[in-house]
Amino acid sequence: MANHHRLTRRRLLALLGGSAGIGLAPTIRAGAAGAAVFGQTAPRQTSTTFQPGAIIRTLLKDMPPADLAGGPVLFHEHLSMHYPPQVKEHFTDDVAMMVEEVRAAGKDGIACIVDGGHPDMTRSLDALTRIATESGVAIVASGGYYMQRTYPPEIAARSADQIADDLTREAAAQRLGAFGEIGQQGGVLTDDEKKVFQAVAKAHVRTGLPVFTHNAYTGTRTTANPVPHDAALRQLDVLEAAGAKPERMAIGHICCLDDPKAEIAQQLAKRGAFVGFDRVTIPIVPDAERVVMIMAMVEAGYAGHVLLSSDFAVANSLKKNGGAGVGQAATVFGPMLLKAGLTEALLHQILVDNPRRFLAFVPK
């Protein structure tokens, strides 16, 4: 892990809108929607506005998006899970330790973390609630199903509408703030996976909740597994055909593609979707390649579609084990983007504004 690139807490807070910074002396201004905006030398008007009544549904309470403007919002991490499902033990079972790790991420400036697990990844809502309560960092819990091999047997017999009914009911009962991560196992959606994508799109229409996906490129892309390069586009096809609004969809793991010009990413953005660079700092693909892809997106005018996260899932990344911790997408990867020439204003947009636009909805 490139520790020398890690931002100090003070520097990150200064950069992203917190109050502890001294080095940059940033000015925080309230925009039209009350959202804090980072401006170093000249006043900068925020372009981030939210519909009247829009909220971000965290486990503990519904929050106006402006209340989460003080730091990065990480849209796809894991704070509680057993994966693969048959594993008996997982490091996240130590909830007290996870509280400490998330509290430390809060000290790094992180304002909110979206957990990408759900029952078929053995995510514990009790654990997430305790982490949110004791760490002071806002946590969004998600619903849905992961992929063919994790589906409960009853999925096969239920229709997309029936699954959508279940998801809608669960979302209300459990204060879920998103559907995700919704995945596929191979290069092409199985019939059940297609049905689950349709169901999630329908549940999104009924609830207003956003959706984030897991596409097929997740392991080493040098394996012989022939995955169609356009699997991510086909996911958006299915979601849209079932009624989903692309601007509330985040197609995930695009940073794992071998796509240096970010062509798939740009096609997704052109259709209105968010693009998940949500495995940064995880050594599947060199981070330098992801930086190039993101700079290509920015160059093409799509900075407003980029979402960053790290899919936090391995014990080596824990601070107690010498890793960068749950905030690594911001604290380790953020500085790499600055070094590549991204402006601080755009980094703020990507880490603070884009995820709030993704998560905010007007409850129905």
Residues in contact with Zn ion by the rule CB under 5 A: 116, 181, 311
Which H or E element spans position 214?
strand 211-214
For residue 148, the one-letter residue type is Q
Q: How many residues does the chain have?
A: 364
Q: How many Cβ atoms are within 10 Å of 161's Cβ, its own excluded?
A: 13
What are the residues whose beta carbons fall under 8 Å from the beta carbon of 16, sequence distance 6 or more?
38, 70, 71, 72, 109, 330, 347, 348, 351, 352
Given the complex with Zn ion, which of 46 and 218 has the nearer CB atom? 218
Which H or E element spans position 76?
strand 73-77
* CB of 313 vs Zn ion, minimal distance in Å: 6
Given the complex with Zn ion, which of 287 and 311 has the nearer CB atom? 311
* CB of 215 vs Zn ion, minimal distance in Å: 11
Given the complex with Zn ion, which of 21 and 116 has the nearer CB atom? 116
Residues 131 and 93: beta-carbon distance below 8 Å? no
Closest CA to 307 of 72, 123, 90: 72
* CB of 311 vs Zn ion, minimal distance in Å: 4
* CB of 173 vs Zn ion, minimal distance in Å: 23
* CB of 181 vs Zn ion, minimal distance in Å: 5
Can you say whether the dihedral through the CA atoms of 53, 130, 218, 87 is positive or negative?
Answer: negative
Given the complex with Zn ion, which of 181 and 344 has the nearer CB atom? 181
Given the complex with Zn ion, which of 65 and 116 has the nearer CB atom? 116
